[in-house]
């Protein structure tokens, strides 16, 4: 019971200093009295990015799949791009085109048409993937992957801003 009383005193001090609002105080007080844990935000924990389940704060880099990285262990961040090879789908398209043109003479265009459809669908399905790569004392980790280069660059920018802020 002493720890609950101490937590209530701390919450009240934070409310009086203006760190948390009256509503946050009441909400956290109810949780404490019900036996739950309080979730008081550290005023020093600045949020640099929060979008689509990804959050970058002074202390944590959290991902939607419940992976969390302590920012104190991150030494560098970079974006990486993985563009798949489109060579084989292009070869299938060329062979399909030639088979289609050859089939025009004798009326048998189906093989060429099927190859063109397969090659076109294959080519269209190949997308460049972008990654956030974290460097830590343990090595490099591909922490996050997405098809949007702009979004990945925003996350990398936020992580770098956090590292600079941390000093």
Q: Mean pLDDT throughout 56-65?
A: 88
- Residues near 130 by beta carbon (within 8 Å), at least 6 away in sequence: 79, 80, 81, 82, 145, 146, 147, 148, 149, 152, 153
Asked if residues 70 and 84 have their Cβ atoms less than 8 Å apart, the reply is no
Q: Measured between alpha carbons, how far is 109 from 91 in angstroms, rounded to an integer?
A: 18
Q: Measured between alpha carbons, how far is 61 from 54 in angstroms, rounded to an integer?
A: 7
Q: Measured between alpha carbons, how far is 130 from 82 in angstroms, rounded to an integer?
A: 6
- Its pTM stands at 0.67
Q: Mean pLDDT throughout 79-89?
A: 97
Q: Mean pLDDT throughout 20-28?
A: 78
Written as six digits, the tokens of 26 are 């009441």
Written as six digits, the tokens of 144 are 């996050």
């Amino acid at each position: 019971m002493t720890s609950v009383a101490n937590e209530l005193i701390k919450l009240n001090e934070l409310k009086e200093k203006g760190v948390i609002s009256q509503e946050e105080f009441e909400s956290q007080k109810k949780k404490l009295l019900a036996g739950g844990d309080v979730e008081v935000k550290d005023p020093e924990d600045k949020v640099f990015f929060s979008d689509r389940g990804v959050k970058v704060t002074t202390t944590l880099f959290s991902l939607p799949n419940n992976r969390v990285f302590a920012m104190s262990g991150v030494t560098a961040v970079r974006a990486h791009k993985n563009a798949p090879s489109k060579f084989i789908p292009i070869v299938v398209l060329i062979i399909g085109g030639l088979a289609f043109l050859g089939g025009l003479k004798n009326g048998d265009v189906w093989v060429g048409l099927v190859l063109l459809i397969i090659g076109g669908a294959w080519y269209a399905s190949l997308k460049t993937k972008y990654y956030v790569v974290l460097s830590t004392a343990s090595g490099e980790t591909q922490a996050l992957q997405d098809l949007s280069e702009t979004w990945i660059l925003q996350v990398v920018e936020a992580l770098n801003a956090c590292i600079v802020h941390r000093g």
